[in-house]
């Protein structure tokens, strides 16, 4: 599904990613774990094609066997990349429903079914109640639901989620876990940036540990369970 080869990225002179190579297979949930500043967010931004405005990148990124390295962000989105940014990315000047409808449905077929608006509202009834309100008037947890619903509505095939559980109550964290497992069943692939190791271990099939812009380890679910304490200590949480 996703293949990254020798990806390096710089902010001016500072190198943020050092020859990252990784892959995510179809239908997998994979997390990127690492300390603040390890390069997780930069990696997602590079995958989405958003790093170019800040600095150089090198290496190749391919999605479903097609090289997307030279494509602008909107073209990548149309090939099925669904981006959930670290600051949620809700528009204050758009209503809840407009926030949902803004992103166009992914054209290229073969992916999971796009969620019709009706399904979004059935799954998240509160969004229906608030559909005319400005997006940013929702609570943090509801905003995160909105952002997830937004990419599900497009029928994105590969979700790039940057810390969707950050700052949320355990109830919402659990809900996000349920949704991710549900969409995986429907054929969606997920790459998740996560500081919450416990949550990561509960939803993901595999994990990449990122440190100083390098992938230092690749772990499967059982390895993470065994080493959860060690990882928590390493992450400094």
Task: Name the segment binding other proteins (CB under 8 A); options: 8-16, 90-98, 123-131, 162-170.
Answer: 90-98
Q: Is 106 in the site for other proteins (CB under 8 A)?
A: yes
For other proteins, the closer CB: 48 or 231: 48
- Nearest Cα neighbor of 132 from 104, 100, 154 is 100
CB 161 within 8 A of CB 191: yes
Q: Is 92 in the site for other proteins (CB under 8 A)?
A: yes
Q: Is 14 in the site for other proteins (CB under 8 A)?
A: no
Least distance in Å: CB of 84 to other proteins? 10
Size of the site for other proteins (CB under 8 A): 27
Q: Map residue 232 onto helix, strand or coil.
A: helix
Residues 6+ positions from 154 with CB-CB distance below 8 Å: 77, 82, 103, 104, 105, 106, 114
Among all chains, which residue has been given the structure tokens 């990882």?
231
Least distance in Å: CB of 226 to other proteins? 36
- Nearest Cα neighbor of 28 from 202, 200, 187 is 187
For other proteins, the closer CB: 83 or 124: 83
Q: Is 36 in the site for other proteins (CB under 8 A)?
A: no
Could you give the string, one character per residue 131-170, with x where binding to other proteins holds by CB under 8 A and - elsewhere?
-------------------x---x----------------
Report the C-alpha dihedral over residues 52, 27, 208, 4, rounded to 10 degrees: -40
Q: Is 91 in the site for other proteins (CB under 8 A)?
A: yes
Q: Is 171 in the site for other proteins (CB under 8 A)?
A: no
The Cα–Cα gap between 136 and 26 comes to 33
CB 184 within 8 A of CB 212: no
User: Taking the alpha carbons of 132, 82, 157, 184 in that order, is the dihedral positive or negative?
Assistant: negative
Least distance in Å: CB of 209 to other proteins? 26
**Binding to other proteins (CB under 8 A): which residues in 46-85?**
48-50, 53, 72-78, 83, 85
Least distance in Å: CB of 147 to other proteins? 10
Q: How many other β-carbons are positioned within 10 Å of the β-carbon of residue 108?
A: 12
Least distance in Å: CB of 74 to other proteins? 5
For other proteins, the closer CB: 84 or 215: 84
User: Residue 99: what are its φ and ψ, rounded to 5°?
Assistant: -60, -40
Which residues here bind other proteins, judged by CB under 8 A?
48-50, 53, 72-78, 83, 85, 87, 89, 91-94, 98, 101-104, 106, 150, 154
């Amino acid at each position: 599904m996703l293949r990254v080869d020798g990806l390096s990225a710089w902010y001016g002179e500072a190198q943020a990613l050092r020859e990252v190579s990784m892959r995510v297979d179809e239908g997998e949930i994979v997390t990127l774990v690492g300390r603040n500043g390890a390069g997780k967010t930069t990696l997602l931004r590079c995958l989405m094609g958003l790093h170019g405005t800040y600095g150089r990148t090198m290496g190749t990124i391919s999605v479903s066997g097609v090289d997307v390295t030279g494509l602008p962000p909107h073209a990548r989105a149309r090939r099925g990349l669904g981006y959930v940014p670290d600051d949620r990315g809700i528009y204050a000047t758009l209503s809840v429903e407009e926030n949902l409808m803004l992103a166009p449905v992914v054209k290229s077929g073969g992916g999971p079914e796009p969620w019709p608006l009706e399904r979004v509202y059935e799954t998240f009834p509160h969004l229906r109640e608030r559909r005319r309100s400005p997006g940013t008037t929702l609570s943090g947890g509801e905003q995160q639901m909105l952002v997830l619903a937004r990419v599900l509505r497009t029928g994105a095939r590969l979700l790039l989620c940057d810390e969707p559980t950050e700052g949320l109550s355990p109830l919402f964290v659990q809900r996000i876990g349920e949704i991710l497992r549900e969409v995986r069943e429907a054929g969606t692939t997920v790459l998740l940036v996560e500081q919450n190791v416990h949550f990561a271990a509960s939803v993901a099939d595999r994990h990449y540990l990122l440190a100083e812009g390098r992938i230092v380890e690749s772990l499967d679910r059982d390895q993470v369970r065994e080493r959860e304490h060690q990882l928590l200590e390493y992450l400094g949480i």
